[in-house]
Amino acid sequence: MEGRGVGTPSGARARAFVLERFHAIGLDTLATGSLERFPVAPGGATEGANVVVLVRGRSRPGRIILVTAHYDHLGVRQGEVYNGADDNASGTAAMMAIATWFRQHPPATTVMFVALDGEEEGLLGATAFVRDRLVVADSVIINVNLDMVSRSARQQLFAVGPKRYPALLPYLARTACSAPLALMLGHDQGWPASEDWTLQSDQGVFQGIGIPFTYFGVEDHPDYHRPTDDVARIDPGFFVAATRAITLFVALVDQSPAAAESARVVSP
Helices (H), the chain: 9-25, 91-104, 124-132, 169-178, 203-207, 236-255, 258-262
The C-alpha atoms of residue 241 and residue 239 are separated, in whole angstroms, by 5
Q: What's the pLDDT band for 194 if we cut at 50, 70, 90? A: low
pLDDT one-digit tens code per residue, 144-186: 999 999 999 999 999 999 989 999 999 999 999 998 899 999 8
pLDDT one-digit tens code per residue, 209-261: 999 999 999 999 999 999 999 999 999 999 999 999 999 999 999 999 999 99
Q: What's the pLDDT band for 192 if we cut at 50, 70, 90? A: low
Q: What is the pLDDT of residue 41?
A: 82
Please state, rounded to an integer, the average pLDDT across all residues of the chain: 94
Question: Which residue, 145, 127, 132, is CA-closest to 32?
Answer: 132
List domains and CATH numbers for the chain.
2-265 (3.40.630.10)
Provide the 3-class DSSP secondary structure of residue 70. strand
* CA contacts within 13 A on the Cβ side of 177: 7
Please determine, for residue 267, whether its predicted confidence score (pLDDT) is greater than 50: no
Question: Which residue, 165, 128, 158, is CA-closest to 265?
Answer: 165
Q: What is the pLDDT of residue 95?
A: 98
The predicted model gives 7-31 an average pLDDT of: 96
Q: Residue type at 162?
A: P
Q: What's the pLDDT band for 268 if we cut at 50, 70, 90? A: very low
Is 51 within 8 Å of 19 (Cβ atoms)?
yes
The C-alpha atoms of residue 29 and residue 84 are separated, in whole angstroms, by 27
List CB contacts of 187: < 8 A, sequence separation 6 or more: 158, 160, 195, 196, 197, 219
